[in-house]
Copies of this chain bind each other. A is one copy, B any other.
Amino acid sequence: MLKTPYLLFLGDAHDQLAAKVAKGICDWRPEYAVGQLRLPGCNADLGLPDMTLDEAREAGAQTMVIGVANRGGVISESWKDVMVEALENGFDLASGLHNRLRDNPHLAATAAKYGQELFDVRIPNQTYPIATGEKRSGKRCLTVGTDCSVGKMYTTLALEKEMKERSMNVDFRATGQSGILITGDGVPLDAVIADFMAGAVEWLTPDNDPDHWDLIEGQGSLFHVSFSGVTMALIHGGQPDALILCHEPTRTHMRGIPTFGLPSLEEVRDLSLKIAQVVNADCKVVGISVNTASLNQEEAKKYLAEVENRMGLPTVDPYRQGAARLVDELEKIT
């Protein structure tokens, strides 16, 4: 578990998109984001106070989060001095980069010397059990998608926000690196050993109060041949009571595999439900979340209405409309 709050390191991010993870932290955990640290040439700005390491320490920051991605996911040479200095000044470091912090000898030695921790959130930091499938108390909702990167994390975080506003008993359960950096905890499921995937999801969503909801961040798609095994383990390990379908309407093929078209929402509904009912006979599909960022307001409205009418399920874009109508459906599950 990462120590909060964070100083967000934006490095020399060449645009706002390169600081996507830091933006996610500002959007969903603003209380964790005390300031930003930018290097010369940085073109991203989160609207947070620019801080030196000293100022951030003064403001209470405990972890410097590498909130920027660059080509290849490597640790840029120009970042190293400030990373070392952060460790020397009592910060932990957390990163979702492909290259691990702990594999950099200078960072590893400095962290050891100053008693600070290096969190590579792509790497599981523990072993997980084999799944038992035993029924757990509490309720669970899982987002499943027609494809990768269609808004499953966003939808799940939007559900959490709405449910917290309603004072519901709820936890977001991160299963990917961005989700883990944003919320400070979770399981990097795509990096778990095959035999333990479903067990890791069970571990992440243990027995809980009868009125408690685990909101499980979905990954991949049952129809994405590269990652479908991970999605399968999420459904069987997650034991969901409710599924929410996620979709991006302008995508012409599955992400990264151009010869594969997208499945229909009906296909995703039917296959996900069939698989979920192996482990929870009462599982229901309760709503649909559509990422309409590529549509104008009129097109979006029309598209959402068409899907809602066709599927007979509340259909929203949580970015435009919030997740209230989806949460209304979750509230009906007792």
Give the interface SS of chain A, mostly helix, strand, loop or mixed.
helix
Kindly list chain B residues whose C-beta atoms are within 8 Å of the C-beta of A263: 278
In the complex, which residue of chain B has the Cβ closest to the Cβ of A190?
B195
Q: A230 within 8 Å of B by Cβ?
A: yes
Taken together as a complex, chains A and B put the C-alpha atoms of A189 and B271 apart, in Å, by: 24
Interface pair A232/B228, CB less than 8 Å apart: yes
Partner of A259, one of B134, B191, B192, B259: B134
Q: Please tell me the size bucket of the interface on A.
A: 35 or more
Q: Is the CB of A130 within 8 A of B226?
A: yes
Q: Is the CB of B195 within 8 A of A227?
A: yes
Contact pick for A229, options B132, B135, B236, B257, CB 8 Å: B236
B194 touches A190 (CB 8 A): yes
Residue of B nearest to A192 (CB): B194
Binary contact readout A190-225 vs B (1 if CB under 8 angstroms, 0 otherwise)? 111111011100000000000000000000001101
Which 4 residue pairs of A and B lie closest in terms of their CB atoms, listed nearest first?
A: A229-B233, A229-B229, A225-B236, A133-B225
On A, residues with C-beta under 8 Å from B are 130-135, 189-195, 197-199, 222-223, 225-233, 236-237, 257, 259-260, 263, 271, 274-275, 278-279
